[in-house]
A and B are shown apart, each in its own frame.
Chain A
Amino acid sequence: SLVYDVNTKQIQLPEASDDMAMNIAQINKLTQDLIAESNPNFTPKPRDDSTAMIKKLFENGLKQTKQQHFPEALKSISLAIEMAQRKRTPWEAFAIQLQELQFMVKNRIDLCLIQGKFMDALQDIELLQNTGVNTSDVFIRKTDALIKLKQYELAKVECERGLSLDPTNVKLKALLLENTRKLAEYNG
Chain B
Amino acid sequence: LSYDYDESSETWPFFLLTLLCVVLIPLTIAQLYALLKSENSEKATRQKSPLDELDERYTSAKMIDFQKKFSNKRSKLTSKRTIFVVVGWAIVALLVNKIGGNEAIKEAASSLFDPYELLGIATSATEKEVKSAYRKLSVKFHPDKLSKDLTEQQRLDMEEQYVLITKAYKALTDELTRENFLRYGHPDGPQATSHGIALPKFLVNSSGSPLVIISYIAMLGFILPFFVSRWWSRTQSFTKKGIHVKSASYFADRLFNFKPSQVVTVDMIIKWLSHAEEFKIFYPNLTPSVFESLLHDHLNRSSSSDLEDVKLRIVAKTHSLLFGLLDIATSFRNLEITNVTLDTFKSIVQATPSGPYSQILQLPNVNQKAFLEGAVDDIRTLGKLFTFDDKKIGKILGIDDEGKLKDTLTVASQIPHLKIVRAEFKVPGEPVVTPSSTPHIVLKVMVRSARHKFFTPNKIPDEMCSEPQDFDSLRDPFASTLEQPVIPETFAPYFPVKRTGSWCCIVVLQKDGKVIQTPMITNRLSFVNLSKDFDKRKVKDVDSEFDPKEWEVGTIKIPFSQPAPPQKGDYFFRVIVKNTDYFGADLDITMPMSVRD
Within 8 Å by CB, do A and B touch in the complex? Answer: yes
Which residues of A approach B to under 8 Å, CB–CB?
Answer: 19, 130, 150, 153, 156-157, 160-161, 163-165, 167, 184, 186-188
Interface check B381, CB cutoff 8 A: yes
A161 touches B574 (CB 8 A): yes
* Chain B residues, Cβ within 8 Å of A188: 381-387, 450, 536
Write 19 A-B pairs (CB below 8 A) sorted by A numbering: A130-B261, A156-B588, A157-B574, A160-B510, A160-B574, A160-B589, A160-B590, A161-B513, A161-B574, A161-B590, A164-B510, A164-B574, A186-B380, A187-B381, A187-B383, A188-B383, A188-B384, A188-B386, A188-B450
- Give, as a whole number of angstroms, the nearest-CB distance from B210 to chain A: 60
Q: How far is the CA of A19 from the CA of B259 in the complex (A)?
A: 10
A21 to chain B, nearest CB (A): 13
Cα A11 to Cα B570 in complex, Å, equals 54
Residues from chain A with Cβ under 8 Å of B589 in the complex: 160
User: Number of contacting residues on B, CB 8 A?
Assistant: 24
Q: Please report the C-alpha to C-alpha distance between residue A165 and residue B378 in the assembled complex, in whole angstroms.
A: 34
**B588 x A157 contact (CB < 8 A):** yes
Question: Which chain A residue shows the least CB distance to B509?
Answer: A164
Q: Judging by beta carbons under 8 Å apart, are A184 and B261 in contact?
A: no
B221 at interface by CB-CB < 8 Å: no
Q: Which residues of A contact B202 (CB under 8 A)?
A: none
Q: Which 6 A-B pairs have the closest CB atoms?
A: A164-B572, A188-B384, A164-B510, A188-B383, A187-B383, A160-B590
Is B260's CB within 8 Å of the partner chain A? Answer: yes
- Closest A residue to B451 by CB, please name it: A188
The distance from the CB of A168 to the nearest CB of chain B, in whole angstroms, is 12
Residues 508-529 of B contacting A (Cβ, < 8 Å): 510-511, 513
A interface secondary structure, majority:
helix
**What residues of chain B lie closer than 8 Å to A167, measured between beta carbons?**
570
B384–A161 CB distance below 8 A: no
Instruction: Look across to chain A and name the residue whose beta carbon is closest to the beta carbon of B380.
Output: A186
In the bound assembly, the distance between CA atoms of A150 and B382 in angstroms comes to 17
Shortest Cβ distance from B589 into A: residue: A160
Q: Which residues of A contact B260 (CB under 8 A)?
A: 130
Q: Which residues of B contact A (CB under 8 A)?
A: 257, 260-261, 378, 380-387, 450, 454, 510-511, 513, 536, 570, 572, 574, 588-590
Residues of chain B within 8 A (CB-CB) of A184 are 454
Assess whether B384 is in contact with A19, with CB atoms less than 8 Å apart: no
Q: Is the pair A164, B381 in contact by a Cβ cutoff of 8 Å?
A: no
Task: State A7–B588 Cα separation when bound (angstroms).
Answer: 58
Known: A186-B381, A188-B385. A19 touches B257 (CB 8 A): yes
Residue among A130, A156, A160, A188 with the most chain B CB within 10 A?
Answer: A188
Complex formed: what's the CA distance from A105 to B386 in Å? Answer: 43
Report the Cα distance A165→B590, complex, angstroms: 12
- B559 nearest CB across to chain A (Å): 22
Q: Which residues of A contact B570 (CB under 8 A)?
A: 167
In the bound assembly, the distance between CA atoms of A157 and B511 in angstroms comes to 13
Q: Which residues of B contact A186 (CB under 8 A)?
A: 380-381, 384
CA A19 – CA B257 in complex, angstroms? 9
| CB of A160 to closest CB in B, whole Å | 4
- Report the minimum CB–CB distance from B470 to chain A (whole Å): 35
Which residue of chain A lies nearest to B417 when distances are taken between CB atoms in the complex? A187
Bound state CA distance, A156 and B587, in angstroms? Answer: 12
**Nearest chain B CB to A74 CB, angstrom units:** 23
**Alpha-carbon distance between A157 and B575 when the two chains are bound, in angstroms:** 11
**Closest Cβ of chain A: how far from B361's Cβ, in Å?**
17
**Measured CA separation A153–B339 after assembly (Å):** 13
Q: In the complex, A187 Cα to B157 Cα: how many Å?
A: 104
A156, A160, A164 pick with most chain B CB within 10 angstroms: A164
> A165–B513 Cα gap in the complex (Å)?
11
Chain B proximity of A135: nearest CB distance (Å) = 14
Name the distance in Å between A159's Cβ and chain B's nearest Cβ. Answer: 9
Once bound together, how far apart are the Cα atoms of A153 and B589, in whole Å? 11
A157 to B382, CA, bound (A): 21
In the assembled complex, which residues on chain A have CB atoms less than 8 Å from the CB atom of B574? 157, 160-161, 164
B275 to chain A, nearest CB (A): 14
Residues of B within 8 A of A187 (CB): 381, 383-384
Question: Closest residue of chain B to A129, judged by CB?
Answer: B513
> When the two chains form the complex, which single residue of B383, B450, B590 contacts A164, counting CB atoms closer than 8 Å?
B590
* A residues in contact with B590, CB < 8 Å: 160-161, 163-164
Set of chain B residues within 8 Å of A165, measured between Cβ atoms: 510-511
Contact between A153 and B588, CB atoms less than 8 A apart: yes
Given contacts A19-B257, A156-B588, A157-B588, contact A164 B511 (CB under 8 A): yes
- Complex: how many Å from CA A188 to CA B360? 13
Residue of B at shortest CB range from A22? B259
Rounded to whole Å, the gap between the CB of A8 and the closest CB of chain B is 27
**Residues in chain B near residue A163, CB distance under 8 A:** 590
B386 cross-chain contacts in A, Cβ below 8 A: 188
CA distance A22 to B378 in the complex (A): 42
In the complex, the chain A residue whose C-beta lies closest to that of B359 is: A187
Q: Told that A150-B378, A164-B510 touch, could you supply 18 new A-B pairs with CB distance under 8 A?
A: A130-B261, A153-B588, A160-B510, A160-B590, A161-B513, A164-B511, A164-B572, A164-B590, A165-B510, A165-B511, A167-B570, A186-B380, A186-B381, A187-B381, A187-B383, A188-B384, A188-B385, A188-B450
Tell me the complex Cα distance, A130–B454, Å: 38
- Name A187's closest neighbour in chain B (CB-CB): B383
Q: Provide the bound-state CA to CA distance between A137 and B44, in Å.
A: 55
- Within the assembled complex, what's the spacing in Å between the Cα atoms of A129 and B566? 29
Q: Within the complex, what minimum Cβ distance (angstroms) separates A105 from chain B?
A: 15
With the chains together, A164 CA to B260 CA distance in Å? 23
Residue of B nearest to A157 (CB): B588
Residues in A with CB closer than 8 Å to B381 are 186-188
A165 and B592 CA atoms in complex are apart in Å by 11
The complex places the Cα of A167 from the Cα of B383 at a distance, in Å, of 31
Closest residue of chain B to A167 (Cβ to Cβ) is B570
Min CB gap A15→B, angstroms: 17
In the complex, chain B residues whose CB is within 8 Å of the CB of A161: 510, 513, 574, 590
CB distance from B177 to the nearest CB of A (A): 91
A184 to B383, CA, bound (A): 9
Q: In the assembled complex, which residues on chain A have CB atoms less than 8 Å from the CB atom of B387?
A: 188
Q: How far is the CA of A164 from the CA of B536 in the complex (A)?
A: 34
Taking the nearest CB of chain A, how far is it from the CB of B441, in angstroms?
16
Residues of chain B within 8 A of A156, CB atoms compared = 588
Distance (Å) between the CB of B454 and the closest chain A CB?
A: 7
* CA of A156 to CA of B385, assembled, Å: 22
Q: How far is the CA of A163 from the CA of B591 in the complex (A)?
A: 11
Shortest CB-to-CB span from B227 to chain A, Å, is 41
CA distance A130 to B590 in the complex (A): 22
Assembled-state Cα–Cα distance A160/B387 (Å): 28
